[in-house]
Amino acid sequence: MTKAKHHDYFKAIANYIKHTYQLEVDQSGKDVSRACFLAEDAGAFINPKYL
């Protein structure tokens, strides 16, 4: 079994976002030296302008 690498996770998440939300992910985030966080906030306000 091969260990997944940062690039593999990035591609998987970018693919999910593209197919689920029809959005292109900024490819500069695939650089492992950049911080990447996923926030969770069930009460977050999402501006309808960006939906």
Structure tokens at 23: 């959005």
Would you state the pLDDT for residue 18? Answer: 95
**Whole-prediction pTM:** 0.57
* pLDDT tens figures, 1-51: 677 788 888 899 999 999 999 999 988 878 777 766 667 888 888 889 988
Integer angstrom CA distances of residue 42 from 12, 36, 37, 45: 23, 20, 16, 9
Give the model's pLDDT for residue 39. 73
User: What's the pLDDT score for residue 36?
Assistant: 60
